[in-house]
């Protein structure tokens, strides 16, 4: 039986972890809520999307994602390299 490699290479991009912000009854309310979330981010790094959910796709879920802070990742890597 062949073993599968379950570890990810560090050069591969990771999947985004989207956070559910709110579930609304109609698309117009979801769109206005999405626009209000986008206006709150001055750096334009914030991503927001609307997805159908509920029975038969009758409701709308507003999901958001903010990119992770890369400065902290580099600081952790440098700290590990100093301890060697």
Q: Which whole number is the average pLDDT over 66-74?
A: 70
Rounded mean pLDDT of the chain?
80
Cβ neighbours of residue 65 under 8 Å, at least 6 residues apart?
A: 16, 17, 18, 19, 46, 47, 48
Report residue 79's pLDDT band, with 50, 70 and 90 as the boundaries: low
- pLDDT of residue 40 exceeding 70, the answer is yes
Name the phi and psi angles at 10, rounded to 5.
-65, -20
- pLDDT of residue 10 exceeding 80, the answer is no
Q: What is the pLDDT of residue 43?
A: 80
pTM of the entire structure? 0.64
């Amino acid at each position: 039986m062949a073993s599968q490699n379950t570890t990810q290479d560090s050069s591969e991009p990771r999947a985004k972890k989207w956070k559910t912000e709110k579930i609304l009854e109609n698309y117009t309310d979801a769109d206005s809520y999405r626009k209000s979330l986008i206006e709150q981010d001055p750096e334009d790094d914030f991503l927001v999307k609307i997805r159908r959910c509920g029975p038969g796709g009758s409701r709308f879920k507003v999901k958001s994602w903010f990119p992770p802070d890369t400065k902290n990742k580099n600081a952790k890597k440098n700290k590990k390299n100093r301890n060697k």
